[in-house]
């Protein structure tokens, strides 16, 4: 099939950026979206032009690197990551608009590549259990109810891609932070630092320039791991409860 | 060169304890004077960096991804082995040790493998304490599943995302140290050289992939945890970014590359559909419990449902009646290759075999199959656009893991003092073949429980503090700079991917599932031509600074081309079949691997010998004091 691509090009953080038009033919319906871009990049290189920069790595939907807004939808028309989007979901002659994530906290670095290091900093603010290597007790000394473990895993499977932020009109990171807070908050290992963790991570999230949640659930709709927005409510309860504990 | 593995003497079960007692310590107040550089932030790198920082050392980490959390350990699905014996099914350190050494077809070091089995238990405890959400039973206890190559249930798991959860645990520990200021994280940085000062590893040269700046970093020890070299085959189940550059550049500085020809092929992956294909996706091997593997008896494009039962060849059931579709990984992979080589393969390009669930669905009902394999069937349908409940799946083997890597001694130090190598990047524990659920175990064993001790011992004998002003740093920086300039000055018209694909096809055809002398020699003759074309025709845009993904990629492809020669040389000189290395000349009448313990019970460690020169072989003899090598049998 033949596609008309409108791709965002931006040489660096200071560049204003613009859309560039490319027509690509011979696209197979079995190609992944990124493979289609590989083909385009090979052609650009053959013409001595600069290829389109984009983040990608595992190409199996787990590393969370890929991050494209395709026709206004984070990760494209189907549920899952950009790398797991296949060209059979597009039709011959279609115009496809490809943009980077757009959020103040995710500045564009080059073309479709954005800086998501704010996510790392939020986790550095408290997304861990303070335990040193060595000296841990036997794993079975700490029974965890199966349902709690399952629910923690539902949250823990977040891949940190940032689609939730990109889809949100407020560029809120609430689903991401809620998933991180809930993973540890639901497990006994996370209890000693639970109050401090949610307060610190939410404070960091605000500081990084993410917006607030206005319950539109766009995040849940695009999350490649289908992480439910209930976790946001859980985090809000946790945050409220924790903020009532007097600090020393 | 004489290789000393520094494996301690004494009974197997006491070696590691003895070694720990013999090792020197660094006073807590002095630890902060030392700086360690860690390249790679997967399970091995992240766990090592966090543990060293907890001890009080200063650590800098480097990864090419935009966050340490995205290293390819994240993609591991199945689980992690540990000799906990929670099932009361007879597991023990001894048994995990024996299974691993046998699975490796007697080409690994006894002392290393035993230590791995010993510390496997601590790993689970550590990960639980970090909050890794392992699968649980109703009583709240840790659940286990069984895995190939073992008769006990010793695999701990987090759904199908065990690697992800273990990595997030190590990443969380790393984050805690970053927050405390003891680790400085450098994402989007690629290591391009190791700096040796008087033959001792004292630094690295990296490229900031955002600004394009070349940077010097100095440290009192350098740790490489940069993963495997699977993408030398172009297509593999590895991430697109996985590369051999860090280990290969260390090799060019004098580190020995051990057993590169031991590369594991996984039998059940989704086949290639076209030239544009960039990646192969693994489908869990568990599918072979209920699926029947077949190809048509005669070729010709036909729909599977139009092929009569009498026209089908269930080749695994025919050739291995006792194991059938559950024949071991290497046997199944080679059998699939053979039928495809004979022109009977199915699907576009003819490199695929059917994995058919029709009989199982008839026997158990569609619901039962959905319950067992629903997520895998969905994944397959998503990628291929076919419904595997109606149409047989198509599968084909793909490169999955590299047992080979830089040579290290018992203390995980390479032959270059101060250069430690961890995880998939080293060669140490899996011999000629790795068992399922052992890669995660090894990465974390190295990072959490081995390297923090052995690096401390090394640092205890080193005067801390080294700057980046020395001539060695300038020289290494200049070398990196001129290499990149050369790539950009080529101004060809062909993308690096085209060469990578061509190289991969060659390596796959001649150094993949089955190898022979003629093929390997042909490959060694063809590589110089490919290299020459690459350096004449490659297209890399010249930029003054800033992001340049084509430049990063071209540098990696150039290294893969050079590395493929070492790989082929190793495969050519190992004139036996063992584990994942199958030389067609050395097989029994029924196609089983014929190992040659009398002549090849050694580690092949290859040394760089200059541009366009054949590498030099050093052997480390393997001694089996505690287990007696036997022949694997599937009859």
ipTM entry: 0.98
Place B635 in a pLDDT band, splitting at 50, 70 and 90.
Answer: low
- Tokens 């297209």 locate to B539
Domains plus CATH for chain A?
A: 3-110 (3.10.20.30), 117-243 (1.10.1060.10)
Burial (Cβ within 10 Å: 0-12, 13-18, ≥19) of residue A21: exposed
Residues of B in contact with A110 (CB under 8 A): 210, 546-547
Domains plus CATH for chain B?
A: 12-264+401-460 (3.50.50.60), 267-399 (3.90.700.10), 471-607 (1.20.58.100)
SS3 (DSSP) at B563: helix
Instruction: Please give the residue that has the higher pLDDT: either B370 or A143.
Output: A143
Alpha carbon distance B38, B177 (integer Å): 14
- % of residues, chain B, pLDDT over 70: 99
0.90 exceeded by pTM: yes
Q: What is the DSSP letter of B627?
A: S
At B172-204, the pLDDT tens digits run 999 999 999 999 999 999 999 999 999 999 999
Contact (CB<8Å) B74/A58: yes
B58 pLDDT exceeds 70?
yes
Residues of B in contact with A101 (CB under 8 A): none
At B125-144, the pLDDT tens digits run 999 999 999 999 999 999 99
CA-wise closest residue to B441 among B136, B150, B223, B107: B150
Q: What is the mean pLDDT of chain B?
A: 94
B344 pLDDT exceeds 60?
yes
Contact (CB<8Å) B140/A110: no
B631 pLDDT exceeds 90?
no
Are B405 and B247 within 8 A, CB to CB? Answer: yes
Alpha carbon distance A171, A216 (integer Å): 12
Are B420 and B297 within 8 A, CB to CB? Answer: no
Listing DSSP states for B266-292 in one string gives: EEEEPPP-STT-----B--GGGGGT-E
At B28-47, the pLDDT tens digits run 999 999 999 999 999 999 99
Which of A61, A63, A124 has the most B C-beta neighbours within 10 Å, making it the best mutation to test the interface with B?
A: A63
Contact (CB<8Å) B69/A160: yes
Given this model, what pLDDT does residue B634 score? 60
Place A247 in a pLDDT band, splitting at 50, 70 and 90.
Answer: low
Closest approach of chain B CAs to the CA of A151, in angstroms?
9
Give the residue from chain B lying closest to A84, CA to CA: B383
Place B534 in a pLDDT band, splitting at 50, 70 and 90.
Answer: very high
Q: What is the mean pLDDT of chain A?
A: 97
CA-wise closest residue to B531 among B565, B561, B510: B561
Given this model, what pLDDT does residue A101 score? 98
Place B510 in a pLDDT band, splitting at 50, 70 and 90.
Answer: very high
Are B268 and B395 within 8 A, CB to CB? Answer: yes
The residue-averaged pLDDT of B137-165 equals 89
Closest approach of chain A CAs to the CA of B363, in angstroms?
31
B210 pLDDT exceeds 70?
yes
At A181-231, the pLDDT tens digits run 999 999 999 999 999 999 999 999 999 999 999 999 999 999 999 999 999
Given this model, what pLDDT does residue B512 score? 95
Helix (H) or strand (E) holding B179: helix B162-179
Helix (H) or strand (E) holding B541: none
Q: Given phi > 0 = left and psi -120 to 50 = alpha, else beta, which region is B109?
A: beta
Alpha carbon distance B377, A125 (integer Å): 39
SS3 (DSSP) at B170: helix
Give the residue from chain A lying closest to B239, CA to CA: A58
Contact (CB<8Å) B541/A48: yes
Alpha carbon distance B487, B207 (integer Å): 15
B494-532 burial: b if 16+ Cβ within 10 Å, else e: bbbbbbbbbbbebbbebbbbbbbeebbeebbebbeebbe
Which of B172, B282, B385 has the most A C-beta neighbours within 10 Å, making it the best mutation to test the interface with A?
A: B172
B149 pLDDT exceeds 80?
no
Beta-strand pair B214-218/B183-186: unpaired
B160 pLDDT exceeds 60?
yes
Contact (CB<8Å) A57/B70: yes
Q: What is the DSSP letter of B65?
A: S
Range from B124-128, B147-151, B581-585 carrying the lowest mean pLDDT: B147-151
Contact (CB<8Å) B278/A32: yes
Range from A139-143, A152-156, B336-340 carrying the lowest mean pLDDT: B336-340
Give the residue from chain A lying closest to B542, CA to CA: A50
Q: Across-strand partners of A49?
A: none
Listing DSSP states for B402-459 in one string gives: E--EE---TTSB-SSTTEEE-GGGB--SSTTS--TT-HHHHHHIIIIIIHHHHHHHHH
Q: Is B289 on the interface with A (CB under 8 A)?
A: no
Portion 472-531 of B in contact with A at CB < 8 A: 491, 493-495, 497-498
Instruction: Out of B294-303, B436-445, B539-548, give the one with best mean pLDDT.
Output: B436-445
The residue-averaged pLDDT of B76-93 equals 94
Q: Is B200 on the interface with A (CB under 8 A)?
A: no
The residue-averaged pLDDT of B405-411 equals 98
Cα separations in angstroms, B430 against B6, B92, B250, B298, B579: 18, 18, 21, 40, 10
Q: φ, ψ for residue B160 (rounded to 5)? A: -100, 20
At A183-194, the pLDDT tens digits run 999 999 999 999
Given this model, what pLDDT does residue B359 score? 95
Contact (CB<8Å) A153/B84: no
At A83-133, the pLDDT tens digits run 999 999 999 999 999 999 999 999 999 999 999 999 999 999 999 999 999
Which of B136, B185, B499 has the most A C-beta neighbours within 10 Å, making it the best mutation to test the interface with A?
A: B136
Contact (CB<8Å) A156/B75: no
The residue-averaged pLDDT of B506-517 equals 96
Alpha carbon distance B603, A42 (integer Å): 40
Contact (CB<8Å) B172/A129: yes
Place B379 in a pLDDT band, splitting at 50, 70 and 90.
Answer: confident
Which tokens is B266 given? 């996984």
Closest approach of chain B CAs to the CA of A167, in angstroms?
20
Closest approach of chain B CAs to the CA of A66, in angstroms?
11
């Amino acid at each position: 099939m033949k596609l008309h691509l409108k791709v965002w090009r931006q040489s660096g953080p200071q560049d204003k950026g613009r859309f560039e038009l490319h027509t690509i033919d011979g696209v197979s319906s079995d190609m992944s979206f990124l493979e289609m871009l590989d083909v385009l990049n090979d052609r650009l290189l053959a013409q001595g032009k600069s290829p389109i920069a984009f983040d990608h790595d595992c190409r199996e939907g787990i590393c969370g690197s890929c991050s494209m807004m395709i026709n206004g939808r984070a990760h494209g028309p189907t549920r899952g990551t950009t790398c797991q989007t296949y060209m059979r979901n597009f039709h011959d002659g279609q115009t496809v608009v490809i943009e980077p994530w757009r959020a103040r906290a995710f500045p564009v670095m080059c073309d479709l590549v954005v800086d998501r290091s704010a996510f790392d900093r939020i986790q550095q603010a408290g997304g861990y259990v303070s335990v040193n290597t060595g000296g841990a007790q036997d794993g079975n000394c700490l029974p965890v109810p199966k349902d709690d473990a399952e629910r923690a895993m539902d949250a823990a499977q977040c891949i940190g891609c940032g689609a939730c932020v990109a889809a949100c009109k407020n560029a809120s990171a609430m689903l991401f932070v809620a998933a991180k807070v809930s993973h540890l908050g639901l497990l006994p290992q996370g209890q000693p630092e639970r109050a401090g963790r949610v307060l610190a991570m939410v404070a960091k999230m605000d500081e990084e320039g993410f917006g607030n949640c206005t319950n539109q659930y766009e995040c849940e709709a695009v999350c490649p791991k289908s992480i439910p927005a209930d976790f946001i409510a859980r985090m809000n309860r946790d945050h409220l409860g924790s903020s009532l504990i007097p600090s020393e | 060169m004489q290789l000393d593995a520094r494996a301690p003497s004494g009974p197997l079960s006491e070696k590691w304890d003895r070694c720990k007692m013999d090792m020197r310590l660094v006073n807590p107040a002095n630890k902060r004077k030392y700086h360690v550089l860690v390249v790679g932030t997967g399970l091995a790198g992240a766990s090592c960096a966090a543990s060293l920082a907890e001890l009080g050392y200063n650590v800098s980490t480097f990864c090419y991804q935009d966050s340490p959390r995205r290293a390819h350990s994240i993609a591991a699905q199945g689980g992690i082995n540990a000799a906990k014996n929670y099932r009361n099914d007879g597991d023990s350190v001894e048994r995990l040790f024996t299974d691993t050494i046998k699975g490796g077809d007697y080409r690994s070091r006894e002392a290393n493998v035993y230590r791995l089995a010993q510390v496997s238990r601590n790993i689970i405890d550590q990960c639980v304490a970090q909050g890794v959400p392992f699968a649980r039973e109703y009583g709240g206890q840790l659940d286990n599943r069984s895995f190939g190559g073992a008769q006990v249930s010793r695999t701990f798991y987090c759904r199908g995302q065990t690697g992800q959860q273990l990595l997030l645990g190590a990443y969380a520990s790393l984050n805690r140290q970053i927050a405390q200021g003891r680790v400085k994280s450098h994402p989007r940085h690629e290591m391009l050289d190791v700096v040796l000062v008087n033959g001792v590893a004292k630094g690295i040269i990296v490229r900031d992939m955002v600004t394009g700046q070349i940077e010097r970093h100095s440290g009192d020890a350098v740790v490489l945890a940069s993963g495997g070299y699977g993408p030398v085959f172009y297509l593999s189940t590895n991430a697109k970014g996985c590369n051999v550059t860090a280990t290969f550049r260390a090799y060019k500085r004098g580190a020995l590359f051990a057993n590169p020809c031991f590369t594991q092929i996984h039998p059940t992956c989704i086949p290639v559909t076209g030239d544009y294909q960039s990646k192969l996706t693994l489908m869990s091997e568990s599918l072979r419990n209920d699926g029947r593997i077949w190809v048509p008896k005669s070729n010709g494009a036909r729909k599977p449902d139009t092929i009569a039962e009498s026209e089908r060849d269930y080749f695994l059931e025919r050739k291995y009646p006792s194991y059938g579709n559950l024949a071991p990984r290497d046997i199944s992979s080679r059998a699939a290759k053979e039928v495809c080589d004979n022109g009977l393969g199915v699907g576009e390009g003819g490199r695929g075999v059917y994995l058919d669930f029709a009989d199982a669905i008839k026997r158990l009902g569609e619901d039962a199959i959905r319950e067992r394999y629903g997520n895998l069937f969905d994944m397959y349908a998503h990628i291929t656009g076919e419904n595997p409940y109606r149409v047989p799946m198509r599968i084909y083997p793909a490169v999955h893991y590299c047992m080979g890597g830089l040579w290290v001694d018992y203390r995980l130090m390479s032959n270059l003092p101060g250069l430690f190598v961890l995880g998939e990047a080293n060669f140490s524990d899996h011999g000629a073949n790795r068992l399922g659920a052992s890669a995660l175990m090894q990465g974390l064993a190295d990072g959490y429980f081995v390297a923090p001790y052995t690096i401390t011992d090394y640092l205890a004998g080193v005067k801390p503090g080294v700057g980046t002003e020395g001539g060695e740093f300038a020289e290494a920086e200049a070398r990196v700079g001129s290499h990149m300039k050369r790539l950009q000055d080529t101004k060809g018209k062909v993308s690096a991917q085209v060469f990578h694909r061509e190289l991969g096809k060659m390596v796959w055809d001649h150094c993949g599932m089955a190898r022979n002398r003629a093929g390997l020699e042909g490959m060694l003759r063809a590589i110089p031509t490919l290299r020459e074309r690459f350096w004449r025709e490659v297209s890399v845009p010249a930029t003054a600074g800033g992001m340049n993904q084509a430049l990063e990629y071209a540098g990696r492809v150039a290294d893969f081309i050079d590395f493929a020669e070492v790989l082929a040389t190793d495969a050519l000189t190992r004139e036996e079949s063992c584990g994942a290395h199958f030389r067609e000349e050395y097989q029994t009448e029924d196609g089983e691997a014929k190992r040659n313990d009398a002549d090849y019970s050694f580690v092949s460690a290859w040394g760089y010998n200059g541009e366009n020169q054949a590498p030099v072989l050093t052997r480390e003899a393997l001694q089996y004091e505690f287990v007696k090598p036997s022949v694997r049998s599937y009859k």
